[in-house]
Structure 1
Amino acid sequence: MRHVLATLALGALVLTAAPLAAQAEPPAKAAAAEQTPLEKRAGQVVALLNGKADPADIFTAGFRAAVADAQIVTLSASLVAQFGPATDVALLVPSDGRRANLEIRFERGLAKGVIAIDPVDGNRVNELVFTSVDSLAVANDNAQKIAADLAALPGSVNAWFGPLEGGAPVISLGADTPLALGSAFKLYVLAALAEDVKAGRRKWSDVVPLTEKSYPSGRLQDWPEGSPVTLHTLASLMISISDNTATDQLIKVLGKERILKLMKDSGHADPSANDPFLTTKQLFILKAGNSQTLADWRSGDPAKQAIIEVVQVAEEDPSLDQINAAFANGPKALDVEWFASPADLAKLFGHMRRNADPKVFDIMAISPSATAAIKANWSYIGFKGGSEPGVINLTWLLTDKAGRDWVLTLGWNNPAAVVDDGKLEGIAQRILLLPR
């Protein structure tokens, strides 16, 4: 998953993640007659993270010029959504200087970083950096609590966690309910390719010229047209960094009908929901295009849809700025997407285990989106997720120490508001830390 590592620092603001899972015992607090300036400010940071303090009362003017108050509030809310409320300062060393190593405990996490104050400016904070946020196992957490938290999310949610073949699921919520997948649809492209490789129709080492170009995420959109790339490279970039150009190139190589056949063969309940099968570029252009083009696509008229596919929707490709602008105001046209249910995705993995070339699972494991503690619990972890405003999907294939495959897939769609990726990622971590 995209990791959430909040960095609030003078001149820099970064949102990524690096959760690790290990419960730390709170250090014994030394008795003190009076708090030092650093201790006071650290305590205010706890209140700030919980939305109970104003950035203007804590940070220097220089810090706030570099990192807007609204950004600070948004970052704080994201951390609390993922890890629960901040509870206390777990570590401040040294506590009596101007700069110190800082650890703040959340209900389900431990943020580690640095804090500094400016004595010339009323001991206001001029540096606050969280270099990692470690997930902590939650005492008395269980599948019932997690399922309730999933059900309480606004919009539509589906979830499934359990053994791939046989055995009752640990968590099942809307298991047969299809939702938009975002880039998790790329698992179907990958599966079709891997099946062709196993059948001898293609080789991972086959080289194709780069002819398709999409929009980020990815890197290949910046490569020269005609660059020779292997199918293995395209698949690896598609899964590990969700490269959209690599995806569209593979769709071109395989053919849309081949991928739809794979969907049907794998047991997808309604492959027609993905027909016509969109490339990532077509999705971007449809969402960024004019209302008539979108209406023509939605009409279901095969002739209109065929024309849109042939001409790539527009005579001239929109600029990246135009694409970004189309997604800047929240969810848009969530019916223009790729769709599957948790049951569909579990069946896909079962189909891949039986029919795909085994190297495909190495590709899925390049970016497993798992913490050190989670990796210690499983002998194999493969992952693909996807998101756009209003859509997130997180899907894992895992193998336990006994060699048994498991699936965790979580989906969340909300056409009315941007979904909180961090909150769903936090729930996923809780599931993967559950005792089995």
Structure 2
Amino acid sequence: MQTGIFRSTRRSTNRRYLRHGLMAGLAAVLALSMTACSSTGAQAEPESQPTETENATEAAPQPAVGLPDTPAGLQAQWILTVINAETPVATDGFTDTFADVILSELSAEQLAEVLEQVRSERPWTPINVNAAGTQGIFTLQSGAGELMDLQLSVDEAGMINGIFFGPGTPVRTPAASWDEVETGVASLPDGSGLAVYRVADGTAILDVDADTAKPVGSIFKLYVLVAVSDAVAAGTLSWDAKLTVTDDLRSLPSGELQDAPAGTAVTVREAAQKMIAISDNTATDLLMNAVGRPAVEQALSDAGHADPDRNTPFLSTRELFQLGWGVEESVRGQWEEADDDGRRALLQTLPDGVLDIPAAAVTTPVWQQDLDWFATAEDLMRAHLALQDRATTDAGAPLRDILGANNGLNLEIGGDWSYIGFKGGSAPGVMAGSWYLERSDGERFVVVQQGASASPEEVADPMAFFGPAQDGIALLASEGRD
């Protein structure tokens, strides 16, 4: 599940990480995380101790599942073949498999060393898949019953640009009722919430702490998309207009455009697609620069946010990185205490040019200091509906394709569901997901799950965190079959 806004690379004494791109995830990873919004930089290093499987989750043997015939699924199959081979891992084919963004930070020999340690616990069998297009989380089980998650993302050329091995997610027993879904939310960190809305009458089928404004990570990009659509409708922007990557607009992962050379041009539509489907932060900031901060702030009101002043001045992703992890703590304190004018003045002091923020710095939650974007579940429900309303206009015609490119849970379109729009978000200590769903019988729903914690590890696993949302969506699908 691709979530945004960050996907981190970091070393761990407990687990082996090889990761480039957005924190958490989803994905996707979420975004892979997949994702998070999940976090920055690509500084993964192989470690000598302990091996990955020393910390894997043990479980009863599970039946094998097939891997999808998607770009991420095909590369997961390549990894699976390598780690199940009888012969030691060689570097043959690595340059045709791993993107430069990986190999520039980790040599082929180092990659082979990590894969060889995983191979030592073969055979690995895929038992669960959560994948959509260019990203996925693949739960593998060893012959000894240990579980390991392979989180993987690929670029537009189908080459691996993000890979992460971590403790496996046990196969869950889905909730059989809304009471059980609510119990699942109660098992999450304090302050977690889940809301399920039936669009036809505006009722909440389930409402667990849904009226509390929480940090949403990259879900804020829905409001940027509203502003872009409105600018197209007003004739001040077009979907085919070109946007140019510059060092002053370059942000940090998640995404791809942060690695593009200065001068690279993308259309507004391409940037919007990247902003939503892979939670590309640089694409987001290009779009915000094109429409202007006031237009995005106006989009909050236009899309029905109950307290738009909570998010003004509206931060770009670059500004969040700078204030959250690129300044002294005293500056963050100034931001927290300042009024709107003071905050706008503080943004003017942030430096231009290439960001120099080490990946290791982007680990501490800063949402408690008003460094994120905040919304209630009902705010996000209204944002999704505002975009769907705009999608019925000529100016908003691309919106459904943009929002439906990655549904976050690898849900099948054409069976229970005829359409799903999704945007997730993550940051250190933040995890959130939002789904607009159209059932095959014509019923429409919005599902929003949110959580925030001062302890990042409490909301770091999108597969575990979004279990209640996944169960709720399954119950809605079952309802449509009755």
Q: Judging changes above 3 Å, is the alpha-carbon distance between structure 1 residues 128 and 278 closer, same or farther for their aligned structure 2 residues?
A: closer
Do structure 1's residue 217 and structure 2's residue 199 form an aligned pair?
A: no
Do structure 1's residue 347 and structure 2's residue 390 form an aligned pair?
A: no
Partner of 2:402: 363
Do structure 1's residue 157 and structure 2's residue 192 form an aligned pair?
A: yes
| TM-score (ref. length: structure 2) | 0.65
Per the TM alignment, residue 216 of structure 1 is displaced from its structure 2 partner at its CA by 1.1
Q: Judging changes above 3 Å, is the alpha-carbon distance between structure 1 residues 433 and 209 closer, same or farther for their aligned structure 2 residues?
A: same
Consecutive unaligned residues of structure 2, counting only runs of 5 or more, are 4-14, 20-24, 29-45, 65-85, 87-120, 129-137, 152-167
Partner of 1:86: 59
Identity %: 29
2:362 to 327, 340, 364: 327
Consecutive unaligned residues of structure 1, counting only runs of 5 or more, are 4-10, 20-63, 77-84, 92-96, 106-110, 117-124
Q: Which amino acid in structure 2 is aligned with residue 227 of structure 1?
A: T
Partner of 2:205: 170
Given that 1:18 and 1:371 are in contact with CA atoms closer than 8 Å, whether structure 2 keeps it comes out as no
Given that 1:164 and 1:346 are in contact with CA atoms closer than 8 Å, whether structure 2 keeps it comes out as no
**Distance across 2 between alignment mates of 1:403 and 1:137:** 29
Q: Judging changes above 3 Å, is the alpha-carbon distance between structure 1 residues 148 and 224 closer, same or farther for their aligned structure 2 residues?
A: same
Partner of 1:264: 301
1:185-334 matches, within 5 Å, as: 185-211=220-246, 212-288=249-325, 289-312=327-350, 314=351, 318-321=355-358, 324-328=359-363, 330-334=364-368
Per the TM alignment, residue 421 of structure 1 is displaced from its structure 2 partner at its CA by 2.5
**Distance across 2 between alignment mates of 1:103 and 1:333:** 36
Partner of 1:79: none
Q: Judging changes above 3 Å, is the alpha-carbon distance between structure 1 residues 170 and 255 closer, same or farther for their aligned structure 2 residues?
A: same
1:379 partner SS: strand
**Distance across 2 between alignment mates of 1:75 and 1:375:** 36
Given that 2:53 and 2:148 are in contact with CA atoms closer than 8 Å, whether structure 1 keeps it comes out as no
**Distance across 2 between alignment mates of 1:423 and 1:243:** 24
**Distance across 2 between alignment mates of 1:310 and 1:153:** 39
Given that 1:184 and 1:394 are in contact with CA atoms closer than 8 Å, whether structure 2 keeps it comes out as yes
Higher deviation after alignment, 415-424 or 256-265: 415-424
Q: Which amino acid in structure 2 is aligned with residue 300 of structure 1?
A: A
Given that 2:424 and 2:433 are in contact with CA atoms closer than 8 Å, whether structure 1 keeps it comes out as yes
1:336 partner SS: coil
1:400 to 431, 435, 439: 439
1:159 partner SS: strand
Partner of 1:427: 468
Do structure 1's residue 68 and structure 2's residue 50 form an aligned pair?
A: yes
Per the TM alignment, residue 73 of structure 1 is displaced from its structure 2 partner at its CA by 6.0
Given that 1:382 and 1:397 are in contact with CA atoms closer than 8 Å, whether structure 2 keeps it comes out as yes
Per the TM alignment, residue 332 of structure 1 is displaced from its structure 2 partner at its CA by 3.1
**Distance across 2 between alignment mates of 1:376 and 1:302:** 48
Given that 1:87 and 1:104 are in contact with CA atoms closer than 8 Å, whether structure 2 keeps it comes out as no
| TM-score (ref. length: structure 1) | 0.71
2:466 partner SS: helix
Structure number, greater radius of gyration: 1
**Distance across 1 between alignment mates of 2:56 and 2:361:** 23
Partner of 1:391: 430
Given that 2:26 and 2:408 are in contact with CA atoms closer than 8 Å, whether structure 1 keeps it comes out as no
Q: Deviations over 1:115-160 (max 9, x none)?
A: 46xxxxxxxx7x9877799997846611111112212322311221
Q: Which amino acid in structure 2 is aligned with residue 393 of structure 1?
A: A
**Distance across 2 between alignment mates of 1:129 and 1:157:** 26
**Distance across 2 between alignment mates of 1:299 and 1:99:** 54
Q: Which amino acid in structure 2 is aligned with residue 204 of structure 1?
A: W
Root-mean-square deviation (CA, aligned residues, Å) is 3.6
**Distance across 2 between alignment mates of 1:433 and 1:354:** 25
Q: Judging changes above 3 Å, is the alpha-carbon distance between structure 1 residues 346 and 89 closer, same or farther for their aligned structure 2 residues?
A: closer
**Distance across 1 between alignment mates of 2:374 and 2:280:** 19
**Distance across 2 between alignment mates of 1:148 and 1:342:** 18
Q: Deviations over 1:87-106 (max 9, x none)?
A: 44557xxxxx997574769x
**Distance across 1 between alignment mates of 2:375 and 2:230:** 20
1:268 partner SS: coil
Q: Which amino acid in structure 2 is aligned with residue 360 of structure 1?
A: L
